[in-house]
Amino acid sequence: MLKKLGDYVLLMFQVFRKPDNALIFRKRMLHEFYNLGYTSIGIVAILSVFVGAVATILVAYNTDNPLLPEKLIGFSARQMIILEFSPTMISLILAGKLGSQIASELGTMRVTQQIDALKVMGVNPANYLIFPKILSCLLFIPVLIIFSIVIGILGGWLACVFTGVITPSNYVVGLRAWFEPFSITFAMIKTVVFSFLITSISSFIGYNVEGGSVEVGKASTQAVVVGSIAIIVFDLILTQMLLT
């Protein structure tokens, strides 16, 4: 375990270096924006709208008391979406999608000697392959999470319109009640940390695959499992550190 941690840190030292060629690095960044970020918009939108709606209905169901103001439902749904659902749950989904994608891509490159080919050409393979992935995710996933927050809140509003759990106007009043801008900062801090964990862990696992196709498959699964556990652990740590 400690050896793996040491290897992970050493790999990150290889990753965070000045790229060999700035123009190639920019091209790879754009490729990764599309490959890892843009292609995730669909799944994020679908999940966010449905979970936003479900969150609103669940809050309404659990606060079915005439003494509680209806705007509490909008307020609670907003807080759930901003503080936990969008940054954590969407990151977990992305750990599955991006983690397996990155680990299997790098693992296949390793077992087919493409990484060795880069190394013997004089290219730093870790920097060339992993740095653009990490940087593009650090920049794009926060955008996805903001998008998820907006779509999730919209999903809650749609639930109000179509199920009538509360009136849409009361939901909007709730959304605007007791708003703390720090909650957005908190969500973004979590997102950036989770983005780094997703990409760096899956890159580390994929980069160090030894064997053949079976090992690439195992690495892909391992990347999702380890990435997800890391997200949950850091979620607890960050919540404790930043909200108490």
Partner 1 sequence: MIKLENISKQFGEHLVLDDVSATFERGKTNLIIGQSGSGKTVLMKICTGLYEPDKGIVTFDERQFSNTKEKNKINIRKEMGVLFQGGALFDSMSVEQNVMFPLDMFTNMTYEEKLERVNFCLNRVNLSGINNLRTSELSGGMMKRVAIARAISNSPKYLFCDEPNSGLDPQTSELIDDLISEITHEFNMTTIINTHDINSVLKIGQTISFINKGKLWWSGDNRSVLESDNKELNTFLFSTELTKRVKTN
**Residues in touch with partner 1 (CB under 8 A):** 20-21, 24, 108, 112-114, 116-117, 119-123
Q: For partner 1, which is the closer residue by CB, 30 or 117?
A: 117
CB 105 → partner 1: shortest distance, Å?
8
Q: For partner 1, which is the closer residue by CB, 119 or 218?
A: 119
Q: For partner 1, which is the closer residue by CB, 121 or 229?
A: 121
**Relative orientation angle of helices 2-15 and 125-163, to the nearest 10 degrees:** 100
Question: What CA–CA distance (Å, rounded) separates 91 from 96?
Answer: 9
Q: For partner 1, which is the closer residue by CB, 29 or 92?
A: 29
Least Cα distance to 80 among 57, 99, 55 occurs for 55
CB 108 → partner 1: shortest distance, Å?
8
CB 222 → partner 1: shortest distance, Å?
23
CB atoms inside a 10 Å sphere around CB 212: 12
CB 199 → partner 1: shortest distance, Å?
18
CA 76 to chain centre: 22
Q: Are 206 and 103 in contact (CB under 8 A)?
A: yes
